[in-house]
Amino acid sequence: MSSFFAKLNGPWHERALQTFMIIVLAHWAEHLAQAYQVYVLAWPPHRAGGVLGQMFPWLVHSEVLHYGYALIMLAGIWTFLPGFVGRSRTWWLVALVIQFWHHIEHALLQSQVIAGRTLFGAPVPTSILQLWFPRLELHLFYNTVVFVPMMVAMYYHLFPSAPEAAEMRCSCALRAHPATS
Ligand SMILES: [Zn+2]
């Protein structure tokens, strides 16, 4: 198992990260599409399901799937952390901390569905910050505040400084490693 993680953060980091980022981008695009449907097209929020949600409405309304995605995000960010060094590691850690809280919120929503009762006497499953902010905006916000530090981390990961590049064990850097060339 440890050698599997070593490979994921070494020779497989580039390919594995690319796959992960495609999933992240697709999910992010869905949230943007949903916001567009509500704010620009003025659809009622319960009908605005992004792109996939138009074809599969149950996707949007399934709390399990939302929780599953939040878990995959958390596991993915955590799994790929060791491959990040220097400034990229700092920003990847920021994304990890924020995603951890986002995942707690989803766990709360999920447990309310399982328990068949809601927090705070609300009519629908409710997360903590949702007491103050509407759900669509809140999850768009969460996905943004996780997405932005991930993008900054990816930038520094793809364009490391010479000392950072010397520490990297993966092939992600787009610049030739000065230390090895
Ligand atoms: Zn890498």
Per-residue pLDDT tens listing for the chain (181 residues): 578 889 999 999 999 999 999 988 888 887 788 788 888 888 876 666 666 666 666 656 666 677 778 888 999 999 999 999 999 999 999 999 999 988 887 777 767 766 666 666 666 665 655 545 556 677 778 888 899 999 999 999 999 999 999 999 999 999 755 544 4
List the structure tokens of 75: 């596991």
CA angle 106, 20, 61 (to 5 degrees): 35
- Calculate how far, in angstroms, residue 144's C-alpha sits from the geometric centre of ligand 1: 22
- Calculate how far, in angstroms, residue 67's C-alpha sits from the geometric centre of ligand 1: 27
- Calculate how far, in angstroms, residue 23's C-alpha sits from the geometric centre of ligand 1: 17
- Calculate how far, in angstroms, residue 24's C-alpha sits from the geometric centre of ligand 1: 16
- Calculate how far, in angstroms, residue 128's C-alpha sits from the geometric centre of ligand 1: 35
The model's pTM: 0.76
How far is the C-alpha of 150 from the C-alpha of 24, rounded, in Å?
10
How far is the C-alpha of 90 from the C-alpha of 88, rounded, in Å?
5
- Calculate how far, in angstroms, residue 80's C-alpha sits from the geometric centre of ligand 1: 8
**Would you say 17 and 151 are in contact if contact means Cβ atoms under 8 Å apart?**
no
- Calculate how far, in angstroms, residue 161's C-alpha sits from the geometric centre of ligand 1: 14
- Calculate how far, in angstroms, residue 81's C-alpha sits from the geometric centre of ligand 1: 9
How far is the C-alpha of 52 from the C-alpha of 37, rounded, in Å?
13
- Calculate how far, in angstroms, residue 119's C-alpha sits from the geometric centre of ligand 1: 41
Exposure string over 33-44, b if 16+ CB within 10 A, otherwise e: bbbebbeeeeee
How far is the C-alpha of 37 from the C-alpha of 33, rounded, in Å?
6
Q: What is the per-residue pLDDT for 60? A: 60
**Residues 36, 118, 97, 79: what is their CA dihedral angle, to the nearest 10 degrees?**
-90
- Calculate how far, in angstroms, residue 84's C-alpha sits from the geometric centre of ligand 1: 6
- Calculate how far, in angstroms, residue 13's C-alpha sits from the geometric centre of ligand 1: 5
- Calculate how far, in angstroms, residue 167's C-alpha sits from the geometric centre of ligand 1: 11
Q: What is the per-residue pLDDT for 181? A: 43
Crossing angle of helices 13-39 and 135-158, rounded to 10°: 150
